Structures are given as structure tokens and as C-alpha cells.
Chain A
Amino acid sequence: MPTDSRLTRRSPAAAVLKWVYVGVGLVVALVPIVWMVAGSFRTEQDLFGHPAGLIPHQWTLHGYEGVWDQLPFLRLLGNSVLFAGITTALTVLFDSMCAYALARLNFRGRDVAFWLVLVTLMVPFQVTLIPVFVELFHLGWLNTYQGLIVPRATSAFGIFLFRQFFVSIPRELDEAARIDGAGHFRIYWRGILPLAKPAIATVALLNFTNLWNDLLWPLVVSSSPDMQTLPAGLALFGGQHVTDHAVLLAGAVISLLPIAVAFFLAQRYFVAGISTSGLK
């Protein structure tokens, strides 16, 4: 029950304070994003001439034109969608399965397994970059879609989140299903997963976002221009002696749009409630 449906009265002063706090926070949170979008339409002179301004004084589309003209845009977009989309779907599947096992099954190495999963969160990608590349080479998976997708098809974060979620679902549900003769997989598939929509939405969104924005991984696996993703294409606009803010910002906005869409689709689920999770 929300702490808000108060049994003790809140003083008006406190209420004002609360809204000021939220208001300031909102401004701080959103203004940079607004600036980013507006900036993608501003000329360099405008940026230098009116730094305090939020709205463009001189509108221009050259940022977007630059991105569109200089990149094989649709192909990059397609590759990104393919990579992020398929891999996200796989992570949702594999992570939830693994989390189910960790939450529900009792077996000897369980804690060890859990800790191993956590350990993978503790090392940044730069560290494993070279060994993974060599592994992919030995597997013959460089420049292939399986090389791109399989190593990322599961995420420790997702496993962690799902596990927290599953642990809080009462076991009676399992019992009931088992009485009806269901095996583990059935319980997982029919019983638990449908309840896990908020968790699925959260994991799907966050993983999709990370994969969509991932610059380095696709470039490590493949340098072939056919398989390049959007961030790789956009990264070419920055350079040692290259700055055109509108183009860079336009690239950022374009890259953000699909995420924003995914965000709005998914947010009903988790904003309302990673709730029933009772994260334990």
C-alpha cells in the first residue's frame, strides 16, 4: 500500500516542498534532452551566439541531412534492429529460464552458479575484448550473425532481475501446478512467465537499449560494412578535427528514437509496477 494514502496528515508546507523538489528534478532531468533535440536543428553560429537559448534561433536541417546523406542509413538501421531485437528476445528467454532455475530449483551448485553469474557483471567489456575476439576467431564465428548474437544472448543483469522477481512469487502457485501434473518447464512457461510481465518489460527494455546503443561489440565481431550497426555509423561523424554539433546531435536523436518508442510501449508495465515483485 502506497505510503501516500496517509493515515497521518501531511502539512501543506511539506506538500509544497515535495512538489518543488519534484519540479526541480524534472527540469534537470528533461532540459538536457530538450536541448539535445533542439540542438540538432541549430546552426553552429546559433549555438555559439546564443548559448543560453533552448530554442533554435536559426533553424536548419543540415544535421539530419548530413546523417542521411553520408550514411547507408537504412541498412545500418536494419542491422541494429536485427541485432538488438533478436538478441533481446533471446536474453528474455534465457535469462528468465536461468533465473527460474536459480530461484526455484534446489541443486547443489546453485549458490556457486549464482555467484558466477554475478561475477560476470563485475568485469568491464574492455577486459574481455581481446580474449573473446580470439575465441570467436577459433570458433570461426567472426563476421557471422551467430558470432554477433550468441555471446550476448544472455545477460547477468537480466538473470539477477528475474530471479529477484521470481523469488517473490508465492510457491503455492507452483504447488498447485505440480498437483495438476506439470513439470518444471510447464510451471515456468505457463505459470510463472505470464505473471512476470513487468519484469519482462524491464529486462527487455534495458537489454534492448544496451544492445541498440552498443558501439564496440558489433565492431569487434565484424568490420564488414554490411553488418555495421547504427552507432558505428554515427561514430564516424566524430573525429579528431571534426565537429559539427548539429550532425552529432541529429545522429544522437535518430539513434534515440527507436528506444524512445520502445520506452513508451514498455513503460506502462514497469513504471506501474516492478511493483508486485516485492524485490527480496
Chain B
Amino acid sequence: MGPSLLILGVFVLWPIVRSLWYSLHDWTVGAAEQPWAGLGNYTKLLGDEQFRRALANTLIITAASTAVLVAVGLGLALALTSENVVTRVIRSAFFFPTVISLTTVGMVWRFLLDPDIGLVGGVTNALGLGAVNWLQSTALALPTVIFVNVWKNAGFVMIVLVAGLKAIPGEYYEAAALDGARRAQLLRYVTLPALRPTLLFVTFIVTIQSLQLFDLVYVMTGGGPLFHTDTLVTKLYRDGFVNYRTGYAAATSWVLFIVVVLVSALQLRIFRYNDAD
């Protein structure tokens, strides 16, 4: 266990602490003096409209992505639990998008959604809907980003849930069936409760990823149009690396961190609480 903790400690945890230090200053990389800002950066954030919007967007993306991913993933998992070649191939097919890099996914979908060259545009045109500019519409851009996020991760969620489903002992079902339970009831009273730990694992991973969404948004919209798809990380990237305000960006990252911790704690609460009965 030593090596892992050492590496994580030195190269991740300590830098996280350092960034807290930056956030308490008007930190600029390379400056001779770093003026102390105390909580100034944080209070500025609260007044920053871009920040508030980014926070809202991030939470919306996360909540929507997680909900849809669990629904879609569960549906697919339930449909694909059998063990035969066809099912295995289909499961692999669904899992494939997960291993494609986020920048490639963003780039390819960006092309696909382009009203001039994209397949989606071609399809909607054929359907008589005209070419919709998905990523440039202030109304449609965010749902589109959510859709692509779901597209990429659905396979992963499905695979994990399949594993979880397979681990449910058959006796549970037999017992319930003996009591005359129908499918829907089996699902609700046997499957879902037994799946709870797996669901927790999956939502945990998915929410953490969604809260930190960057590459996908950066490649597809750059946070636009008009900051409608700006996430906390695209905002802190812009502050830190385009506008060179490292301290301010660090403050955003700490707010993100707190949000992630809160959301994670919330999830654990929900899942463990139900577990108690």
C-alpha cells in the first residue's frame, strides 16, 4: 500500500493543498510577490455571473447525466444479462464508446452535429426539420452536451450493472416467485434492493466524472454559446490559463471540490440510509 499512497500523496494531495494556498492569494505564476487575498477570491466568485452560471450548468449536467445514465444503463443491463455470443457482442458494442478519448468523442460529435457536414443534420433535413444548429443554440447546447456525455458512458454503466445483476443469488428470485411475484414486483422488491451497492458505485463514479466535465465541453462548445455550457472546470481553465489568474482559478477549483464532497456525501447518505432497513 505504501507506493500508492506515497505517489498519490506527493503528486495529487499535496498539489491540492498548494492550490488552496494559491486561492488565498491573487496568485500569478511567475510574479515576484503574491498579494494576500484571504477569502477575497471566494467572495468575488459569488458575485461573478459566469461562475454562478457555470455552477448551475455543472449541477444540471451532473444530475441529468446521472439520472439518464442509470435509467438507460439499467434498462440495457436488464435486457442483456444472458450469456450467449450475441449478447456478449452487443454488450461489447455498447461498451466501446467508453474507451474512446473524450477529445475524440467531442470532436466527432461536434462534426456530427454540424448542420453543414454532420449526419445528424442530414437526418433532420431528410425528416423535414431543417438543419438544427445544436451546439450553437443557447437552448439546445446543454442538453446536447448531456446527451453526448450519456452516449459515452452508457456502456460503462451497463457493464457494471450487468455484473451487479449477475451477482444476485438466484434463490432470491426463486423465493419471490414462489410467493407469486410478477416481473414488476421482482424488479422492485428483489433486483433493485440487491443492486443497491452497485448502483452506489456507479452513480458515485458518474457524478464525480460529470462534475469535472471538461474535455468534452471544451472541444464541443468551449463553454459557449454565451457560457450556456460552461462548467466549473471550463471556467477555471479560462480564468487560470487564458486570463492568467491562477489564484482565482484555484478558488473555483476548491468550490468544485467542496461540491464534489457534498454530492458524494449525499449519495452515501441516500444509499446507506436505505440500507439500514
Contact = CB atoms under 8 A, between A and B. Distances in A.
Classify A-B as touching or not with yes or no (CB < 8 A).
yes
Interface of A: 1-8, 10, 14, 18-19, 21-22, 25-26, 28-33, 35-36, 39, 47-48, 50-54, 94-95, 97-98, 100-102, 105, 113, 116-124, 126-128, 130-132, 135, 150-151, 153-154, 156-157, 159-160, 164, 168, 205-206, 209, 212-213, 215, 231, 245, 248-249, 252, 255-256, 259-260, 262-264, 267, 270-280
A275 B14 contact: no
Given A3-B81, A119-B13, A128-B11, 4 more contacts: A3-B168, A52-B119, A127-B15, A131-B15
A245 B240 contact: no
A3 B261 CA distance: 35
A267 B92 contact: yes
Contact of B97 (A33, A123, A270): A33
B182 to A, nearest CB: 6
B91 interface: yes
A272 B159 CA distance: 9
A128 B201 contact: no
A130 B94 contact: no
B95 to A, nearest CB: 7
Contacts of A206: 98-99
Interface of B: 1, 3-5, 7-16, 18-19, 22, 29, 72, 75-76, 78-83, 88, 90-104, 107-109, 111-112, 116-119, 121-123, 125-126, 151, 154-155, 159-160, 162-170, 173-174, 177, 181-183, 186, 191, 197-198, 201, 205, 208, 212, 214, 233, 236-237, 240-241, 246, 249-250, 253, 256-257, 260-261, 264
Nearest to B208: A121
Nearest to B158: A25
A128 B182 CA distance: 52
A2 B14 CA distance: 45
A180 B104 CA distance: 51
20 contacts: A1-B166, A2-B165, A5-B170, A8-B181, A19-B79, A21-B75, A32-B119, A36-B108, A50-B122, A52-B125, A53-B122, A97-B1, A113-B5, A116-B9, A127-B249, A151-B11, A215-B103, A256-B100, A271-B91, A272-B83
Given A8-B177, A120-B8, A277-B167, A153 B93 contact: no
Nearest to A158: B4
A35 B90 CA distance: 19
Contact of B104 (A120, A154, A252): A252
Contacts of A2: 81-83, 165-166
A156 B8 CA distance: 8
Given A2-B165, A30-B93, A274-B159, A154 B4 contact: yes
B99 A205 contact: yes
Contacts of B102: 213
Nearest to B197: A280
Contacts of A277: 163, 167
Given A113-B1, A252-B108, A126 B240 contact: yes
A39 B111 contact: yes
A122 B13 contact: no
Contacts of B164: 278-279
Contacts of B170: 1, 5
A30 B166 CA distance: 25
B16 A128 contact: yes
A273 B201 contact: no
Contact of B11 (A19, A135, A262): A135
A48 B122 CA distance: 10
Contacts of B182: 8
Of A47, A101, A154, most B-chain CB atoms within 10 Å: A154
Contacts of B261: 119, 122
B100 A8 contact: no
B197 A157 contact: no
Most chain-B CB neighbours within 10 Å: which of A22, A30, A31, A260? A22
Contacts of A33: 96-97, 100
A204 B107 CA distance: 25
B233 A26 contact: no
A117 B1 CA distance: 11
A3 B13 CA distance: 43
Contact of A274 (B82, B96, B118, B160): B160
A279 B12 contact: no
A273 B166 contact: yes
Nearest to A275: B166
Contacts of B166: 1-2, 273, 275-276
Given A22-B90, A32-B108, A36-B108, A157 B205 contact: yes
B119 A51 contact: yes
B16 A127 contact: yes
A245 B117 contact: yes
A153 B3 contact: yes
B104 A116 contact: no
B8 A263 contact: no
Nearest to B16: A123
- Nearest 3 CB-CB pairs, A to B? A52-B122, A1-B170, A213-B101
Contact of A4 (B81, B90, B107, B169): B81
